[in-house]
Structure 1
């Protein structure tokens, strides 16, 4: 699964009917997205971003929303004064897919 950089890839629609990544596959991809964590035994990715104020958080979340729409892949987002927490997984398979890592790598570029 390595090879092409995650940021150069595009999320592809997941129709379900496939298996989520096993933890060893997810861990191979995790090394390409520093600061992200695999949570709940491989169910989702998580990262917390810190900002200087509420407007910094809001601006980041707005940019993230535009990215998510462009990629057709939508994370769960919680944010407030000085922070944004991102949770990513593929709902159709209730677990991790390469798309989740692609989106995470692109979020890190915002």
Structure 2
């Protein structure tokens, strides 16, 4: 399954009662989400994204948060000047589920899109263009 295939999927609600992925299966999925690493305690996937400044790190964190809310699968997000760390694991099963990799692929899609500040694409006021 390619990363694009994972990113196109929706998260399925996990109600618990299923075992978390074992490390071997997690490593198989990990190759489909470039940049992510496997961590322990709990077993989770994590990626640190580098951004040019605080504003862009904050905007990226907000985009990831919006995605998580829309998908109903929430990340652990930490950001500061020039970086944003995102981690996924399925809390109900205290480990990894396919949904975590689906979300990682979707976050990679956000990171791969060029950052465009909210002010870009709007017509500047006339005084900026020398018309006032």
Q: Compute the TM-score of the two structures, normalised by the length of structure 2.
A: 0.79
How far did 1:83 drift? Answer: 0.4
Point out which structure has higher relative CO (alpha carbons under 8 A, 6+ apart). Answer: 1
Deviations 1:33-74 (A, max 9, x none): 011001117710010000110001011011111100111000
Aligned length: 109
Instruction: Return 5+ residue gaps in structure 2 as ranges.
Output: 111-132
Instruction: Return 5+ residue gaps in structure 1 as ranges.
Output: none
8 Å CA contact 2:42, 2:94 repeated in 1: no
Greater CA radius of gyration, 1 or 2?
Answer: 2
> Is 2:83 aligned against 1:83?
yes
> Is 2:15 aligned against 1:15?
yes
Counterpart position of 1:35:
35
How far did 1:5 drift? Answer: 1.2
CA RMSD of aligned residues (A): 1.5
Runs of 4+ in 1 over 6 A off after TM superposition: none
CA distance in structure 2 between the aligned counterparts of 1:78 and 1:35, rounded to whole angstroms:
17
Q: Compute the TM-score of the two structures, normalised by the length of structure 1.
A: 0.94
